[in-house]
Structure 1
Amino acid sequence: MKKIGIALLVLVAVVAGAMFWLRGNMDGLIKDAIEKYGSEMTKAKVSVAAVEIKPADGRGVIRGLTIGNPAGFKTAHALKVAEIEVAIDFASIAKEAVTIRKIGIAAPDVIYEKGDAMTNFDAIQKNIADYTGPTEKKESGGKKLIVEQLSVTDAKAQASAAFMDGKTVTVGLPDIHLKDLGKAKGGVTPGELGQEIAKALKQKLAAAVSFDSLMKSAGESLDKAGAAVKGLFGK
């Protein structure tokens, strides 16, 4: 079964779409659209501090994007991004496939939490799939997207699990650089774009985080704490 892609990346596609469907001085409308539809798709609170669109040069910036967690997770959020830069080729707007020159995601703060049944990103991904699946079939004749460059840089990744009660440990996450997404197919839908990007991001997260090792480390720490308490009381 195809997966749709994690919330951040589908939201980026939504933002890109909003930029050519809502051209002009409509920063507030785009901000509201991201928060409304992002929250509906992910079943988590999505908020944006500000949106600045510059139609003349086809550029836009989304500042302070926060994606919370679905119900049942204990950490503060799934994702926070200080700034997302989007550059669109406005000459392509009249075409079947809109070309996005660049999506730059700077310094995202990712918290990857393992719940009892799945991770928070798996839950968000499932919620997006439930939301977008039937819609995308109905809108298969709509606009498509081609992304020439996408980068995720200077990410701060944290990991958590149910037994950690909302606490996190920091893990390294390499930069991600992708090119010509959707180009070979003549364009992809926002959901398909999310699939392609999510595959790369989830591979990085899975490689960086081992929940088995996390549990082992936590167990060793508890053993040491228990030994210290026994020593304190003489038994």
Structure 2
Amino acid sequence: MIKKLALAFAILVLAVAGAAYYFASNIDSLVKAVVERYGSEATQAQVTLKSVDLKPTEGSGSLQGLVVGNPKGFATAEAMSLGDIKVSLDISSLQSNPIVIKSITVTKPAITYEYGEKGSNLDVIQKNVQAYAAKFGGGKSGASSPAPASSRGKAGENERKVVIEDLTIRDGNIAISHTALQGRSLSAPLPVIHLTDIGKDKGGATPAEIAEKIIGTISAKASSVASADLKKQLGTLLKDKAGDIGGAAGGAAEKLKGLFGK
């Protein structure tokens, strides 16, 4: 009987070890699948990730080629291409709640600002992510709303949350698209974005709330820069052509002011 128990225990240990090895060897592909699935659900646009290289034992990793497509109704191919993403985390927090990410650095993101009949693509994505986060208890401000009593309990208590101590997005560029440009292309640099202690004030944020905070910040900053640059460039364009198009320039200018709500 003792020999049989020992054999059964040995088989169990081997099975657990095999499962752990499988998970560790496939963690990159699992993360890629999760990012693409939930990213697409949150933004209501296709999200793809080229590659993931995580080193859990070292507390570091990188993501390459994270692309956020455009929602329906926009002509440009994509809204964001986040390029190279470096991640550093606190290994000791992996067994606790929240998980603490020491730093995330996004280098050379390419943002496309397209202005259409429903506003900009970035505004639409931001609203989609806010609505998605609200389903998980996050509001527009990023603060958590109390969950219904029926949904509280063990599941809610065990929900894994995240704190990001430092997030930097730098060396980015914004491509600007508007039908009024008549085929011309504009671009502007994306100012450095630096956020600290995301989710820390409330003991961690859900992945949906993190997405809302990061994508919302990128969208707001890019939209502000792009709309200001677009109005400036269009104003110059209209002034240059005033002698050729006469009174039409003034009418076009007023129309553009209406589009931007100013």
TM-score tier after normalising by the smaller chain length: 0.7 to 0.9
Query: What amino acid maps onto 2:81 in structure 1?
Result: K
| Aligned equivalent of 2:207, options 178, 182, 190 | 190
Q: Show structure 1 runs of 5+ residues with no match.
A: 1-21, 228-235
Percent identical among aligned pairs is 32
Between 1:178-187 and 1:194-203, the stretch displaced more is 194-203
Q: Relative contact order, CA 8 A, sep 6+: which one is greater? A: 1
Between 1:39-48 and 1:149-158, the stretch displaced more is 39-48
- Give TM-score, length-normalised by structure 2: 0.68
**Per-residue deviation, residues 90-127 of structure 1 (Å, max 9, x unmatched):** 21122221100111111000111221122111111222
| Aligned equivalent of 1:154, options 162, 171, 174 | 171
Distance in 2 separating the partners of 1:40 and 1:83: 22
Offset, 1:218: 4.3
Distance in 2 separating the partners of 1:62 and 1:30: 10
| 1:65 corresponding residue in structure 2 | 66
Q: Show structure 2 runs of 5+ residues with no match.
A: 1-21, 138-146, 247-262
Aligned length: 206
Between 1:188-197 and 1:62-71, the stretch displaced more is 188-197
Which aligned pairs between 1:17-56 and structure 2 lie closer than 5 A?
Answer: 24-25=24-25, 26-56=27-57
Which aligned pairs between 1:6-21 and structure 2 lie closer than 5 A?
Answer: none
| 2:193 corresponding residue in structure 1 | 176
Q: Which has the larger radius of gyration?
A: 2
Query: What amino acid maps onto 2:41 in structure 1?
Result: E
Question: Kindly tell me: are residues 23 and 185 of structure 1, through their superposed partners in 2, closer, same or farther at Cα, counting changes over 3 Å?
Answer: farther
Report if the CA contact (8 A) 2:82-2:108 is conserved: yes
Greater than 6 Å deviation, 4+ residue runs: none
Higher helix proportion: 2
| 1:219 corresponding residue in structure 2 | 238
**Per-residue deviation, residues 19-65 of structure 1 (Å, max 9, x unmatched):** xxx96222122212222222222221211111111111122211111
Distance in 1 separating the partners of 2:36 and 2:211: 18
Query: What amino acid maps onto 1:190 in structure 2?
Result: P
Q: What RMSD, in angstroms, separates the aligned Cα atoms of the two structures?
A: 2.7
Report if the CA contact (8 A) 2:173-2:188 is conserved: yes
| 1:16 corresponding residue in structure 2 | none
- Give TM-score, length-normalised by structure 1: 0.75
Distance in 2 separating the partners of 1:43 and 1:68: 9
